[in-house]
Structure 1
Amino acid sequence: MDGSGGPPLCFPDFNSSCRRPPLPHSESAVLYTLLAFVSLLTVTLNLLVIISISHFQQLHTPTNILLLSLAVSDLVVGLLVMPIEGLRYIERCWLLGSLMCALTPYVAYCMLSASLGHMVLISIDRYLAICDPLLYSTKVTLNRVKISICLCWACSLLYNGLILMGHIGQPDRFNSCHRECVVVISHISGTVDIFIAFLGPCTVMVVLYMRVFVVAVTQMRVIYSQTAATKMRAALTAKRSERKAARTLGILIVVFLMCFCPYYYPALAGQDNSNSLSYFSVLSWFTLMNSTVNPLIYALFYTWFRKAIKLIITLRILQSRSQELNIL
């Protein structure tokens, strides 16, 4: 029994165990409730996307296949990564052993990188659909999209394996006490990661979406100029459409930046990125929440998703030939 009067040992049987002051029971209860809600919401939303696209034949399009794969990565974040990260913070002690210490960061980084990669693929898909509609069906096929998805996952697995190679091989090398789980990304690796996994994808998304916006506005103006409606009504409608397009694109980009920018603060500040930093949990959860928001900004804007939710909740998808229903 520890009689030093300091914070209790995480593992009383080991004198070299970490000492962590426990959270008050009321605070722990609130945090566990919040954690359960966020994780369940993330899993539910992404599961609805997966069921909808998988079940209904009308939704088997290249764009929706990208959404499906994106939802799979975000589902894993809500199902595994969020609960483990929440447990780490609430309990203050690492209770899952060295093997999970080695694997958990790798899984988390892979899922987030894959999610980011899918968003880039979706921006490319939308760019081709709007800017080159005549050749879209020949350039973007299901097989090509599936190959792109496989490459996205493979690159995410390989890239994060290289970034975390040292940690995976020796997960306790930065531990200061028994059964701690410290993950450190060096400043050099963090700087490289900024360019490869953040600035590069961010630049591609912004440039493509801005190009999509410009082309969409131009096409709308041409359409409205050819209608028989009054010029005043056409002008007002065009302005509303332009504002709506700008608002949607702005939401996509701003949410992405809000979720991912904080994570790269240590590297920008010239520090090593480590989960032992006092503010790391805040940076981490900003990034993880992107998996909750993704199904909202990429799926809830579609009317077919709302129709699919009603069919799923009412169990109509269990009826024969329900996969052939018209929901578009």
Structure 2
Amino acid sequence: METPEDERCFPLINNSCKKTRHSDPEASLTFTVLSTITVLTVLLNLLVIIAISHYRQLHSCTNLLLLSLAISDLLVGVLEMPVEILFYRGCWFLGSFVCGMYGFVSFLVISVSVGNMVMISIDRYIAICEPLFYPTKVTLKRVQACIILCWLFSTVHAIWMSREFIQQPDMYNSCYGECVILLANETEAAFDLVVTFIAPIGVITVLYLRVFAAAVTQARAMHSQVTSKSVQCSRAKKSELKAARTLGVVIVMFIICSCPYYIFTLLLDSGLTDSSGAAELWLIYFNSCVNPIIYAFCYPWFRRATKHIFTLKILQPGSSEMNVL
């Protein structure tokens, strides 16, 4: 039975895909929610990028990692979320080239985010478990080099995983007006799963368990210190512990938002589900909006910097030297 023309994505093309039916209230609510998430993701991550880049006090090793994470989250808000909103009705109107590039960017931002999470975990592990060696082991130049390598590796990984889509973006499409991204090679699919999920999550979990154990030990030790020198040392340790807790929340949220997507991927590869995976994909994208919200609640410097940005104090001469800590 033929699909009515008004239900096709491209009425004048015979093999056009069928539109996904949504009730008007459902479509309006979904569009509003997804658009709000997209705008917040872009705005909040821009604030993080501007704050860390502008204020000299924020040029620390840990904040450089947060800057890299914010850039990848911004790419999600600018390049991934709007495309998913346009694709909500099941019609791809952006052409084959954009479909291929969309697959590439998807692999890139996920890989970079995972890499940043691993580096943040390593940073907190050294800061808490080996505090005496932290200034010598973790330097700005080394962190910058690690961030560059992370983006380079992620770019190479994304190009390799999406090479077939870039060359033939419509190779898995069943009708005109579709953009299907699949990994037909089971070996590559397994490799991607290990590299971007299983191995990183394993490393992150082990490191943060050790950080948690060390934090508990140090917290107990702080209560028994009474000298002035010890108090100063305790304050320094408390700041590191607070940063560890905050970044621990960031990592836990990342794992919570990522797990459903990778579980869906496993079920899809095993043929155990025929779901589109849109909800799981939006959940992992939503994590890009959650990160700066966590900073707003946990980091006073982010709130102060945001206030300076909105009141235009950031435009004043010498504003980069302002105290925001």
TM-score, length of structure 2 as denominator length: 0.87
Asked whether the 8 Å contact 1:67–1:298 carries over to 2, the reply is no
Q: Percent identity over the alignment?
A: 48
Return closer, same or farther for 1:131/1:102 CA change in 2, 3 Å cut-off. Answer: same
Compared CA separation, residues 267 and 116, structure 1 to 2 (3 A): same
After superposition, residues 248-287 of structure 1 pair within 5 angstroms as 251-269=249-267, 271=269, 277-287=274-284
The equivalent of 1:210 in structure 2 is 209
Look up the match of 1:237: none
Report deviation, 1:190.
2.7
CA contact (8 A) 1:209 1:249 kept: no
Preserved contact between residue 34 and residue 85 of structure 2 (Cα < 8 Å): yes
Which residue does the alignment assign to 1:232? none
Partner amino acid, structure 2, of 1:51: I
1:158 corresponding residue in structure 2: 156
Counterpart amino acid of residue 301 in structure 1: C
Following TM superposition, by how much is the alpha carbon of 1:109 offset from its aligned partner in structure 2, in angstroms?
Answer: 1.9
What is the CA deviation profile of residues 2-51 of structure 1, one whole-angstrom value per residue up to 9, with x for unaligned ones?
Answer: 97548722111211211224433333222221122000111111111111
User: Residue in 2 aligned with 1:303?
Assistant: 300
Size of the aligned set, in residue pairs, is 312
Hey, what's the Cα distance between the residues in 1 that align with 2:296 and 2:133?
A: 25
Measure how far apart 1:297 and its partner are.
Answer: 3.1
Partner of residue 318, structure 2: 321
Does the aligned pair in 1 maintain the 2:295–2:302 contact within 8 Å? no
Q: Distance in 1 between matches of 2:182 and 2:300?
A: 43
2:19 is paired with a residue of what secondary structure?
Answer: coil
User: Aligned in 2, Cα 1:120/1:4: closer, same or farther, shift over 3 Å?
Assistant: closer
Residue 247 of structure 1, CA deviation: 7.2
Instruction: Give the counterpart letter for 2:255 in structure 1.
Output: L
Structure 2 counterpart of 1:223: 222
> Against the structure 1 CA distance between its residues 149 and 203, is the aligned structure 2 distance closer, same or farther, given a 3 Å change threshold?
same
Equivalent position to 2:108, from 107, 110, 114: 110
Is contact 1:7-1:19 (8 Å) kept?
Answer: no
Which residue in 1 is equivalent to 2:67?
68
Q: Tell me, in whole angstroms, the C-alpha distance in 2 between the residues paired with 1:29 and 1:299.
A: 29
Q: 1:277 to 1:84 in 2, by over 3 A?
A: farther
Structure 1 residue 125 and structure 2 residue 106: aligned? no
Alpha-carbon shift at residue 227 of structure 1 (Å): 2.4
Q: Distance in 1 between matches of 2:131 and 2:137?
A: 10
Secondary structure class of the residue paired with 2:121: helix
Letter in 1 for 2:82: P
Does the aligned pair in 2 maintain the 1:213–1:245 contact within 8 Å?
no
Query: Counterparts in 2 of 1:132-151, with a 5 A limit?
Result: 132-151=130-149
Deviations 1:127-180 (A, max 9, x none): 111122222111111111111011101111111222222222211111111232
**Residues 66-111 of structure 1: CA distance to partner in whole angstroms, max 9, x if unpaired?**
111110110110112011012112x321010000010012112201
Equivalent residue letter for 2:145: I
Corresponding residue for residue 26 of structure 1:
25
2:235 equivalent in structure 1: none
1:298–1:309 Cα change, 3 Å: closer
Q: TM-score, normalised by structure 1?
A: 0.87
- CA deviations 1:171-199 (Å, max 9, x no partner) are 11111112321111234433222211111
Report the counterpart of residue 91 of structure 2 in structure 1.
93
* Contact in 1 for aligned 2:120/2:247 (Cα 8 Å): no
Counterpart residue number, 1:78: 77
Residue number in structure 1 paired with 2:234: none
Question: RMSD value over aligned CA atoms?
Answer: 2.7
Q: Which consecutive residues of structure 2, in runs of 5 or more, have no partner in the other structure?
A: 228-238
- Work out the CA distance in 1 between the residues paired with 2:93 and 2:11: 13
